[in-house]
Amino acid sequence: MSAVCHLDGSLVPLAEARVSPMDRGFLFADGGYEVIPVYSRQAFRLDEHLARLANTLAGLEIVNPHGIERWRELVREVIDHNDWDDQSVYIQVTRGREARRSHAFTEGLRPTVFIMCEALVTVPETQREQGVAAITAGDFRWLRCDLKTIALLANCLLRNQASKAGCVEAILLRDGFLTEGSASNIFIVREGVMLAPPKSHLMLPGITYDVVLELAATHGLRHAVREILEDELRSADEIWLTSSTKEVLPITRLDDRPVGDGRPGPVGIQMYRWYQDFKARVMRGG
């Protein structure tokens, strides 16, 4: 069976889906998106992802085309119409199509809704066991990084810079402080204390970030949410990245130097286990 997607109210084969070049998503990257992991055909933290999508659309002044119930149904349909048990669902909503290219937008456009899914690509076992390498880079993105917009060119350039250096992620610094990764949130550990930067307009409020903080609280792990200085990042005992697709992944080299002793640290290993247990419990509970 070939992949099936949802475009503007219809289920269609992905290979046949077509969008007008006059769509503002194509012309201006004018839209928002979500990536939702699906395990055993159940979307993980779906309502939280849909709430973040609603927040992104509100920030972009795009009228949310659906209420939460309808969104849940649409996501369910796409999951059901595809083969894989573990998937990653991609939702994109653009402001819609206009007759003429014009920066200021016409009120009342009909948003374009596109939902597809792909097989969930999990982190290779060697990366999980040994950790991955990252570079640092200046965060030159705009000042609304809290919105999950499809205008990802800066993130793509930064990730590509990491990739060219043989690394998995670029960790971003702005004015001497850690913000996040090009497509992930970043946690560090110093002297047994897990540290995370606070949510602000400078980073995406990650769904995995929230789960990790909840797990730290539940299990009594010492932690603090506060600004993290570049020096604190560079001399951290552990660094991890978190995202819906990579979950909790240790970074063991930063700018070609080992992080801590160069191996995944005990706190990160523990957090990964708590995350797996939590996932299994939530999925079993429906």
Residue positions annotated with a catalytic role? 148
Per rule CB under 6 A, is residue 180 in the interface with ligand PDD? yes
Sketch the per residue contact string, 241 through 260, with ligand PDD: x for CB under 6 A, - otherwise. Answer: -xxxx---------------
Q: Nearer to ligand PDD by C-beta: 82 or 242?
A: 242
Among 3, 35, 53, 213, binds ligand PDD (CB under 6 A): 35
Q: Give the DSSP letter of residue 15.
A: G
Per rule CB under 6 A, is residue 228 in the interface with ligand PDD? no
**Total residues interacting with ligand PDD, rule: CB under 6 A:** 15
Cα–Cα distance between 187 and 170 in angstroms, integer?
14
Q: Nearer to ligand PDD by C-beta: 97 or 239?
A: 239
Cα–Cα distance between 151 and 70 in angstroms, integer?
26
Per rule CB under 6 A, is residue 239 in the interface with ligand PDD? no
Of the candidates 238, 248, 174, the residue with the CA atom closest to the CA atom of residue 209: 248
Tokens 């939590």, located at residue: 278
Buried b / exposed e over 154-168, threshold 16 CB at 10 Å, is ebeebbeebeeeebb
Per rule CB under 6 A, is residue 149 in the interface with ligand PDD? no
Helix (H) or strand (E) holding 77: helix 68-80
Per rule CB under 6 A, is residue 43 in the interface with ligand PDD? no
- Which residues bind to ligand PDD, rule: CB under 6 A? 35, 155, 180, 183-185, 204, 206-209, 242-245
